[in-house]
Amino acid sequence: MPLSPLSLRLTGCCALLAFASAAPAWPTSVGPEAAIAAQDSTRSSLPPMLQDFDTYADSARNTFNVPGIAVAIVKDGKVVFEQGYGLREIGKPEKVDAHTLFAIASNTKAFTAAALQMLAEQGKVDMDARVIDYLPWFRMSDPYVTHEMRVRDLLAHRSGLSLGAGDLLYWPPTSYTTKEVVERLGNVPLTNGFRSHYAYDNILFAVATLVIEKVSGQSYADYIRDNLFKPVGMNESLVDMTYLKPGMDYAMGHALSDFKDLKPVPPMAWLNDPGAGGIYASVHDLAKWMNVQLAGGELPTADFHGNARRLFSQDSQNQMWTMLTPIPVSKPPISELQPLAPSFYGYGEGWFLSDYRGQKLVWHTGGWPGMVSRVTLVPELKLGVVVLTNQESGAAFNAITYRVLDAYLNPGTKTDWVAVYDKAVKHSHSDEDESWSKHEAARNANSKPSLPLASYAGTYRDPWYGDIVISQENGKLRLRFSKTKQLIGTMEPWQNDTFIVRWDDRALNADAFVSFALDADGHVREARMQPVSPLTDFSFDFQDLRLVPLKDAVAKAE
């Protein structure tokens, strides 16, 4: 799940908690005294605006209620800063350092794009070939789009799908395989014209995953590990959380249960769409990744003969960093964010493209249950900054990122972005309160469901997701998504034939309205869903479901 520069992932931002102070970022191979001396030497090269960076980072962490944050900065091919702050998990003593692994979520997309470009350089795939040339069974819901979809289109969010379409096939984790996810894509509705509209998706990166596996002859995990992690020297990185072992240095995610109480979120594996967001990495490793990107694909070490080695060519990088899909620039929610509004904004291959203070930015964000992150490159300055967090606060990583960018691009002005984003967070929550107030004002609290509760029970089928089951248990309705263990909840009557399903897992923050439509004989014809809160992550694309009682769905299919 992505986070745009001016819209915010705003859950978990209001309470102020004091956590442990910053942890020193020394490698395990040297003692703390030597590491601190080396760190002090490196820090002396930082701009004056960053000399108090520890205080500023802890301010962001405390203001936005983030247990742990890790930051790395690279400049001119060197790592000039890498540091951890706070705790890996609340209630436990282990501290975040530069080697702590976080889920980087959609920052994985840049690795998927690079993998395809590398395979293209080897002649194993043509970026402009049709997807059906590699996956003959591939289908979109429109025959024209199926025929014309090119490999490059998989990376550009311009397919005609709506925002986050199909995400419920793997978010929260489901039992579908990657191929089953892609096979179901043929029933996911298109809401925009092909290549006419930007709408962020994850599901086409599942298609890209299968293309990589088909042409390389390797699993996605093996290809990324052998051909990207190893050459770059990302020795700490993992393709997904299933490779985490007890005792490893990794962060636990945290989310606000019911948007209020901060609690740990167990690690999640996204095994059926790894190319969209599976990777776990440290800022130490991502600093190496940023330097390779800023070097145009050139690796830091030469081959046996002293010749430069490349991960990918400069031409491949130019393609990844060329805008394919323009994105409208929206008005900032508060005036203080106006300086961040770009003059251009778009998406290339696995990267967002925009500008800030006259410099082109190449960047991406990532959102995962309990963790969000941002990687930002300034190519002309050979500057990169990565911020990893173990709480769902885009405000925190943005406030830190823009302090670093200002130190190099706008050293004469020291904006307190923590204060600015804190104001934006409060503004967003006031909008959420207003939304709920409108629902309550429109509600007829005295109304009752048209039918006995047992009449709403049954199995319902959606063409692309599959089945959900509603059962009557102990006088209440319970709703279960058949392929998603976490989506189990109790349905409470709201008004008329609309209920609210409140999920047992309160960290999901994704309660939804469930509205039933009746036919002329008073039988349920279909059910529709939509999130209750505007703060619910868009990957809960309940609104795309068209749930029909199973007997009717089967008859319609026949």
What does the alpha-carbon distance between residue 386 and residue 388 come to, in Å, rounded to a whole number?
Answer: 7
pLDDT digits (tens, 9 = 90+) for 48-88: 999 999 999 999 999 999 999 999 999 999 999 999 999 99
- DSSP helix/strand/coil, 31: coil
pLDDT given for residue 43 in this prediction:
67
pLDDT digits (tens, 9 = 90+) for 326-381: 999 999 999 999 999 999 999 999 999 999 999 999 999 999 989 999 999 999 99
- DSSP helix/strand/coil, 128: coil
Q: Are 133 and 154 in contact (CB under 8 A)?
A: no
How far lies 104's CA from each of 20, 305, 365, 371, in Å? 23, 35, 8, 8
- How is the chain split into domains, by residue range? 453-557
Over 50: is that where the pLDDT of 504 sits?
yes
Residue among 427, 405, 452 at smallest CA distance from 50? 405
Backbone angles phi, psi at 473, to 5 degrees: -135, 120
Percentage of the chain exceeding pLDDT 70: 91
**328 CB-contact burial (10 Å; exposed 0-12 / middle 13-18 / buried 19+):** exposed
- For residue 452, say if its preceding peptide bond is cis, omega within 30 degrees of 0: no
pLDDT given for residue 553 in this prediction:
64
What does the alpha-carbon distance between residue 234 and residue 422 come to, in Å, rounded to a whole number?
Answer: 34
Residue among 299, 288, 292, 296 at smallest CA distance from 234? 288
Over 70: is that where the pLDDT of 7 sits?
no
Element (H, E) at 314: helix 314-320
What does the alpha-carbon distance between residue 85 and residue 25 come to, in Å, rounded to a whole number?
Answer: 9
What does the alpha-carbon distance between residue 377 and residue 323 come to, in Å, rounded to a whole number?
Answer: 15
What does the alpha-carbon distance between residue 317 and residue 298 come to, in Å, rounded to a whole number?
Answer: 10
Domain spanning 453-557, CATH class = mainly beta
In the chain, what's the furthest Cα-to-Cα distance?
Answer: 82
Looking at residue 291, its amino acid is N
pLDDT given for residue 11 in this prediction:
28
Percentage of the chain exceeding pLDDT 90: 81
pLDDT digits (tens, 9 = 90+) for 98-157: 999 999 999 999 999 999 999 999 999 999 999 999 999 999 999 999 999 999 999 999
